[in-house]
Amino acid sequence: MPMIETINLTKRYNDLVALNALNLTINEGDCFGFIGPNGAGKTTTIKILATLLKPSSGQAQINGLTVGYQNRQIRPLIGYVPDFMGAYQDMVVHEYLEFFAAAYNINGAQRKKVVADVLELTELTYKQTAEVSSLSRGMQQRLSIARVLLHDPKVLLMDEPASGLDPRARIEIRELLKELKRMGKTILISSHILHELAELCNTVGIIEKGQLLFSGSVNDILKKAKVGHVIHVAVAERMEAATQVLTQMPGVSKAEVVMGDGTAGQTDQLIHVAYDEAAGGVYTDIPNVLINNGFRITHFQEEPVNLETAFMRLTKGLVQ
């Protein structure tokens, strides 16, 4: 049974359609990366799953329980981490956690143990007597994660948990999420830091203007986004002439000189070659063609398709 499932999930605000018939399935133990431009519907989806918003139509289910009808059974199963920490800034860290543990009916010696355990897991034990307001943004995000782990939820709903963090804090949050994944938690995480999602998540979904464009494994999305090959080439001299030669090759749909990053041999220019093998030939013929025409190659590299390039190719930048 899927741990998270939406069926034609729709949310309207008057004439604005924030979610349009979203069908999403996340299995138990998945770490699902939710990707989309600002205003695409990511936060709306997460808030509905967190039982904070009612859908206009359709269904959202957590572990087979329906949001809006079985919220009291759902809430013990989930932990919701918003993109920014809320109130209670005047509390110290351990008081903050004990307050929420009491809200989950965790009492007595068990409460102290649970609080100590989540402090250790999030590496905040040494900050347990510090005021929440004195914590850095990264530590506050770790404390927010510690809060939702108190009742040991099966599902974590995380809305931009690395937003606004410095590089070190982002790495610490990423390592914490990896540990939670190893513990078997089902994680839905939205983020704009796509290379970190590719490292952390086994499945991803791309949403734009309230509609799901793709959902599946990271490898599947990379294959879907890879249409032909993009080759970076540099020659020792006569770049324009080499570009003209490449343009005449079967399978080359476009060849143009662009500025490089200074790593292409002795030149700061590169020829970007768009190559479709379905049109004839193979892109590995490019070096032979250049050499046979008297050019000396100083750089030859296929452009890799990663989650960032896949996102750019599969979306149009549309918002509501």
Which residues of the chain are modeled with pLDDT < 50?
A: 264-266, 318-320
Q: Is 177 exposed, middle or buried (0-12, 13-18, 19+ CB in 10 A)?
A: buried
Q: State residue 61's pLDDT score.
A: 96
Please report how the helices 167-182 and 137-149 are oriented relative to each other, as an axis angle in degrees rounded to 10: 20
- Residue 43's pLDDT is 92
Per-residue pLDDT at 265: 47
Task: Give the pLDDT of residue 260.
Answer: 64
> What is the set of domains in the chain, with CATH numbers?
4-224 (3.40.50.300), 227-304 (3.30.70.100)
Using one digit for the tens of pLDDT, what is the confidence trace for 1-52? 789 999 999 999 988 899 999 999 999 999 999 988 888 899 999 999 999 9
pLDDT at residue 111, rounded to an integer: 94
Dihedral of CA 46/51/56/61: which sign?
Answer: positive
Contact 230, 301 (CB under 8 A): no
- Condensed to tens digits (0 to 9), the pLDDT of residues 152-176 reads 999 999 998 887 788 888 888 889 9
